[in-house]
């Protein structure tokens, strides 16, 4: 996903959260529930922006030689 798309999605998510939290607060939902939604929003955006590339140095996987040749 490109950075431009990530920025647009992040802005839309934050605006949706603000509108929905205002609506929910006016209906009488507790502030604790809104805070929990905010924490979920934070971790969702964090996962969106997280780099998916793995370094081979940090990997603890064992690579097996499946060719059948002995060294």
Q: What is the 3-state secondary structure (H, E, C) of the chain?
A: CCHHHHHHHHHHHHHHHHHHHHHHHHHCCCHHHHHHHHHHHHHHHHHHHCCCCCCCCCCCCCCCCCCCCCC
Q: What is the largest CA-CA distance in the chain?
A: 71
pLDDT tens per residue, range 3-61 = 899 999 999 999 999 999 999 999 999 999 999 999 999 999 999 988 766 544 556 67
**Where along the chain do its domains lie?**
3-49
| Amino acid 52: pLDDT | 66
Under the banding of pLDDT at 50, 70 and 90, the label for residue 66 is: confident
Report angle CA 26, 27, 33 to the nearest 5 degrees: 90
| Amino acid 54: pLDDT | 55
| Amino acid 53: pLDDT | 64
| Amino acid 51: pLDDT | 76
Q: How far apart are CA 61 and CA 47, in angstroms?
A: 23
């Amino acid at each position: 996903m490109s950075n431009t798309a990530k920025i647009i999605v992040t802005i839309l998510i934050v605006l949706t959260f603000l509108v929905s939290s205002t609506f929910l607060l006016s209906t009488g939902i507790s502030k604790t529930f809104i805070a929990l939604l905010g924490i979920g929003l934070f971790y969702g955006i964090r996962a969106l922006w997280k780099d998916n590339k793995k370094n081979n140095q940090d990997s603890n996987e064992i690579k097996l030689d499946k060719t059948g040749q002995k060294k």
